[in-house]
């Protein structure tokens, strides 16, 4: 495992020409026009409103290989097969046979599709074998987040479209790699879709449309939260090595998931990145590990994120029992406030200006599940031959924002976007193997800042 100085990353500079992350290049489908007395928000980034329906457009068969066959890999496969006809699962890869065989059986039982033995791959290199298959058109990636960028890049280098779960990356190295994969995909006319499903949740999409149309005025601040009870975890079994234990309990380990300030909060940070078209300047964060039973990550974070123009976001992430839970985003502008809590816009007197109509949605559409709709949009783009990466680009910014928050909370330092973006911090181990790890118990502990406070008496 690479030893990472908690303070060193700020000084290092590995790569320069990636400053445009979060700064533009998204696809467009419409730019808001002046209407109803609102002035559209100015931005170099065009507004993209996905077209949604009940089923993907008919077209050529799309042959899919799955990398990472656990819970979300299974859920996403089901969502994909629900979203579109003529989608065939042709290959599967995972580290562990029990995970893969569970999904293989599900695909057979529910979807009557058989994946042959010769298209089943195991181990850390399995993704390469799967991506090299000529019959694979698209790769569905649902591995722990540290692997996402590597797996997406392999897919794109082999000319495949990709659906990849969030996060895009959990450190500057993986975020930059993901961004490079996006640029390569754009050059090759490929699609990369990411599992930030709020982008296909119709209430969010309609909210985004109105915020960009100017209904809340210029954005001044936001509050985003993923505060929940204790996170589930896997108890270690005696037969598991250190690495197998971490992989099977990966939401508890920083190098695999990037801490929950990315793993979960990235969804909420991503709503702010998406709606505001902004990338942060700096983050000061704090947090600690109070009650967690496994792993080396924190269980609470509070971040103060500074954006251009004095815009500030208060971001909170907590996984502790018995506290005030809330998973939401609220964005304040010069004219009013949008909140995902009831998908509404109100003025400063509390008067309702706009609210999403779920009943109208139900009357118009049969398919309302954003996890399905995101695959529908992806398949439509693949079938129309139109490259599609806009959501992935936004997610890179949001992922790096979460990583800045984690590093600030771990170190106590203010973390600046321009410095962190080019740092060579990488949480990926130098060698991946399924064995035990020397000094495992000493290496994998949650960071603590200093010792007891000085005695002031
Ligand atoms: N969009 C969402 O709302 C959402 C919800 C849950 C999870 N996720 C994301 O989905 C991803 C997977 O989460 P999960 O809940 O399915 O976890 P999981 O542990 O159930 O599944 C992960 C799978 O990946 C396999 N794996 C691990 N390392 C691998 C490697 N190097 N190569 C191939 N396979 C590997 C594991 O064996 C396991 O089968 C995570 O990135 C998570 O953040 C997204």
Question: In total, how many domains does the chain have?
Answer: 2
Write the secondary structure of 125-174 as one string of H (helix), E (strand) and C (coil): CHHHHHHCCCCCCEEEECCCHHHHHHHHHHHHHCCCEEEECCCCCCCHHH
Structure tokens at 95: 């580290």
Q: Is residue 283 part of a domain?
A: yes
Work out the widest C-alpha separation in the chain, in whole angstroms: 76
What pLDDT shows up at residue 52? 85
Q: Are residues 383 and 416 in the same domain?
A: no
Q: Are residues 275 and 407 in the same domain?
A: yes
Q: Is residue 388 part of a domain?
A: yes
Give the span between the Cα atoms of 267 and 145, in whole angstroms. 13
Name all contacts of 345-354 with Cβ < 8 Å and 24+ positions apart: 345/207, 345/210, 345/211, 345/215, 345/216, 353/215, 354/210, 354/215
Domain range for 167 is 6-199+369-397
Q: Is residue 450 part of a domain?
A: no
pLDDT in tens, 115-136: 999 999 999 999 999 999 999 9
Q: Best substitution site from 67, 68, 123, 195 to test ligand 1's pocket, by max atoms within 8 Å of Cβ? A: 68
Residue keyed to tokens 């109509």: 357
**124 Cα nearest atom in ligand 1:** 31
Q: Are residues 85 and 39 in the same domain?
A: yes
pLDDT in tens, 184-230: 999 999 999 999 999 999 999 999 999 999 999 999 999 999 999 99
Ligand 1, atom 21, lies closest to the CA of 70
Q: Are residues 195 and 54 in the same domain?
A: yes
Ligand 1, atom 19, lies closest to the CA of 70
Give the span between the Cα atoms of 390 and 395, in whole angstroms. 9
Would the pLDDT of 17 be above 80?
no
Q: Are residues 403 and 390 in the same domain?
A: no
Q: Is residue 348 part of a domain?
A: yes
What pLDDT shows up at residue 236? 95
**148 Cα nearest atom in ligand 1:** 41
Q: Can you say whether residue 437 is alpha, beta or left, with left for phi > 0 and alpha for psi between -120 and 50 degrees?
A: beta
Query: At 81, which CATH number?
Result: 3.40.50.720
CB of residue 127 inside a 6 A radius of ligand 1:
yes
pTM assigned to the model: 0.93
Q: Is residue 418 part of a domain?
A: yes
Ligand 1, atom 18, lies closest to the CA of 70
Question: How much is the mean pLDDT over the chain?
Answer: 92
Q: Is residue 445 part of a domain?
A: no
What pLDDT shows up at residue 25? 30
Q: Are residues 35 and 104 in the same domain?
A: yes
Would the pLDDT of 428 be above 70?
yes
Q: Are residues 132 and 267 in the same domain?
A: no
List CB contacts of 428: < 8 A, sequence separation 6 or more: 2, 146, 150, 173, 174, 255
Query: At 325, which CATH number?
Result: 3.30.360.10
Q: Are residues 156 and 36 in the same domain?
A: yes
Q: Are residues 282 and 418 in the same domain?
A: yes
For residue 343, the 8-state DSSP code is T
Q: Is residue 435 part of a domain?
A: no
Distance from the alpha carbon of residue 402 to the mean position of ligand 1, in angstroms: 19
Distance from the alpha carbon of residue 143 to the mean position of ligand 1, in angstroms: 4
Q: Best substitution site from 142, 164, 428 to test ligand 1's pocket, by max atoms within 8 Å of Cβ? A: 142
Q: Are residues 321 and 224 in the same domain?
A: yes
List CB contacts of 279: < 8 A, sequence separation 6 or more: 21, 22, 23, 273, 307, 397, 401, 417
Ligand 1, atom 39, lies closest to the CA of 70
Query: Would you report the helix, strand and coil content of the chain in percent, each value rounded to 5?
Result: 40, 20, 45
Q: Is 83 helix (H, G, I), strand (E, B) or coil?
A: helix
Q: Is residue 208 part of a domain?
A: no
């Amino acid at each position: 495992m690479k030893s990472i100085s908690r303070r060193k990353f700020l000084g290092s500079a590995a790569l320069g020409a990636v400053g445009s992350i979060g700064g533009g290049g998204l696809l467009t489908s419409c730019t808001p026009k002046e209407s109803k007395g609102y002035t559209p928000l100015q931005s170099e980034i065009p507004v993209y409103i996905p077209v949604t329906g009940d089923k993907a457009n008919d077209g050529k068969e799309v042959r899919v290989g799955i990398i990472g066959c656990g819970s979300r890999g299974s859920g996403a496969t089901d969502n994909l097969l629900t979203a579109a006809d003529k989608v065939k699962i042709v290959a599967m890869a995972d580290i562990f046979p029990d995970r893969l065989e569970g999904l293989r059986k599900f695909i057979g039982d529910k979807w009557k599709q058989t994946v042959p033995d010769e298209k089943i791959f195991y181990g850390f290199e399995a993704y390469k074998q799967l991506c090299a298959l000529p019959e694979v058109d698209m790769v569905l990636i649902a591995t722990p987040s540290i692997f996402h960028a590597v797996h997406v890049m392999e897919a794109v280098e082999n000319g495949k479209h990709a659906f990849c779960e969030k996060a895009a990356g959990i450190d500057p190295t993986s975020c930059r790699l993901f961004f490079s994969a996006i640029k390569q995909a754009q050059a090759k006319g490929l699609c990369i879709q990411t599992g930030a499903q709020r982008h296909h949740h119709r209430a969010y999409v309609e909210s985004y449309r109105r915020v960009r149309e100017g209904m809340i005025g210029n954005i001044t601040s936001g509050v985003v939260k993923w505060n929940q009870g204790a996170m589930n975890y896997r108890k270690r079994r005696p037969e598991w090595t250190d690495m197998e234990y971490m992989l099977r309990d990966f939401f508890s380990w920083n190098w695999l998931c990037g801490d929950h300030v990315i793993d979960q909060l990235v969804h909420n940070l991503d709503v702010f990145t998406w709606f505001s078209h902004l990338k942060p300047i700096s983050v000061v964060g704090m947090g600690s590990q109070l009650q967690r039973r496994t792993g080396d990550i924190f269980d609470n974070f509070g971040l103060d994120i500074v954006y251009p123009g004095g815009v500030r976001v208060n971001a909170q992430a907590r996984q502790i029992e018995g506290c005030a839970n809330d998973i939401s985003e609220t964005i304040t502008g010069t004219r009013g406030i949008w909140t995902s809590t009831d998908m509404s816009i109100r003025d400063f007197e509390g008067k309702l200006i706009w609210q999403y109509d779920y009943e109208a949605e139900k009357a118009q559409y049969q398919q309302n599940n954003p996890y399905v709709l995101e695959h529908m949009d992806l398949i439509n783009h693949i079938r129309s031959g139109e490259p599609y990466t806009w959501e992935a680009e936004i997610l890179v910014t949001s992922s790096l924002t979460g990583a800045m928050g984690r590093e600030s909370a771990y170190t106590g330092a203010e973390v600046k976007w321009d410095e962190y973006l080019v740092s060579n911090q990488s949480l990926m181990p130098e060698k991946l193997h399924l064995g035990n790890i020397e000094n495992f118990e000493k290496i994998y502990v949650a960071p603590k800042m200093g010792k007891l406070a000085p005695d002031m008496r």
